Structure formats: C-alpha cells, structure tokens
Amino acid sequence: MTTRSQTANTTSNTPSDNTRGTKVTAKNQWIGYFALAWGIVGVVALLSFAITRLLSISITAFGFSLTATHWLALAASVAFMAYAEGYRTFQKTWAPRVVGRAFELKTDWTWLSVVFAPFYCMSFFDATRKRMLTAWITTICIVTLVVLMNRIDQPWRGLIDAGVVVGLGWGVAAVAYQAFIQFTGDAGKGGDEQDTH
C-alpha cells in the first residue's frame, strides 16, 4: 500500500520539464535554447532578405521622373501595407504566434523542429491543420504575387514594393519586440492573439 508521503516523494523526483518524453539534461536545455534563438533569428533573416531584395527595386524607381499620380500611388502603397501587413497582420497576430512557438522549443523540441526551427515558428509543420494550411497558402500566394510583380514596369513596381518593404520592416520590428518582452518575462504585453499553435 502506497502512503501519501511516498507518492509525494515520487512526484517530486519526476522532471517537471520534458523534451517530448526525454529526460531533461543540461545538453537538452542548451539544444532547446539554441532552437529558440535559431527560430527567431531565422525568421528575422528571411524577412530581412526579402526587404533587401525589394528595397533595391524600390530605390531604382526614384530614378524615374515621377508624376503626382506616382507619388499618390506611393503614399497609398505605404499606408495600406503599413496598416494591413505591418500592424494588422505582423504586429497583432503573426509576430506573437511566431515568438510563442519559438519559446515552445525551449522545452519541447524534436530534431526536426530544431533543424527547421524558423519554419516551425511560422507554423509550416507540427501545428494545427488550420495554421499549416494558412502558412502554406499564404506562401503560395506571396510567390504568385512576386511572379506577377515581375511583369510590372518601373516605376510602378518599385512604388508598390516600397509599401511591401515598410510592411516587412514592421514585421521585423514586431518579432524583435515580441522576443524582447518574452525574454524579459513581460509576455502579457503581446498582441491580441496568444494562440501559439
């Protein structure tokens, strides 16, 4: 017959942090921290790479003789993408989810999620069906949009890309901010959506 004290001792000796069933060791903890850092840095690197590519195209557009219509188009592109892509998408939902999933890797990882941590953070795998579908469909739409944009002549292409650059830059800032408040233990100040799955 098991006494309460024996049960309590057994419970206290059970690791509270599990790496998907693996006993937590110093090595596992370091792998978890590496996956966390790699996930966030990788996502920021992907966004930054896109910004660099599009920024050069946007700068080229200003070498043309721009009319009032062009300047209005630029203002509309920047304003729309800053709000729709930057604020509504990146800041309010995407960045909190990405950083939340990155912090999951600290204690709950597999080798697949460690190696492909940035894609895990962006919900390309090991997420709910809805999240994975959203991630893949969004990516396909972006690739399709990029292909179509290549058919647009300058300066229109550069003016539109300028808005995209602003939105992506907002995304980088949002991810960095979410990571900061998570690291400082102030996760409650995140975006509206805290569903990391």
Return the H-helix or E-strand segment holding 146: helix 129-149
Label residue 152 left, alpha or beta by phi (over 0 means left) and psi (-120 to 50 means alpha).
Answer: beta
In this structure, what is the dihedral angle of CA atoms 180, 185, 189, 191, given to the nearest 10 degrees?
Answer: 60
pLDDT at position 167: 94
- Report how far residue 57's alpha carbon sits from residue 1's, in angstroms, rounded to the nearest whole number: 75
User: Burial code of 25-54, b = ≥16 C-beta within 10 A, e = fewer?
Assistant: eeebeebbeebbebbbebbbeebeebbeeb
pLDDT, one tens digit per residue, over 106-162 is 988 999 999 999 999 999 999 999 999 999 998 898 888 888 888 899 999 999 999
Q: Report which of residues 189 and 148 the model is more confident about.
A: 148
What span, in angstroms and rounded, lies between the C-alpha atoms of 53 and 152?
16
Closest CA to 168 of 28, 61, 43, 29: 43
CA–centroid distance for 24 within its chain:
27
**6-55 per-position pLDDT tens digit:** 444 443 343 344 445 444 565 688 999 999 999 999 999 999 999 999 99
Q: How far apart are CA 64 and CA 154, in angstroms?
A: 8
Looking from the CA of 73 toward its CB, the CA atoms found within 13 Å total 17
Judge contact between 134 and 41, C-beta under 8 A. no
Give 54-104 pLDDT, tens digit per residue.
Answer: 999 999 999 999 999 999 999 999 999 999 999 999 999 999 999 999 999
Phi and psi torsions of 152, nearest 5°:
-90, 135
* pLDDT at residue 171 is higher than 80: yes
Whole-prediction pTM: 0.77
Those residues whose C-beta lies under 8 Å from the C-beta of residue 20, and which sit 6 or more positions away, are: 108, 109, 110
Contact between 128 and 49 (Cβ < 8 Å): no
Does pLDDT of 1 surpass 90?
A: no
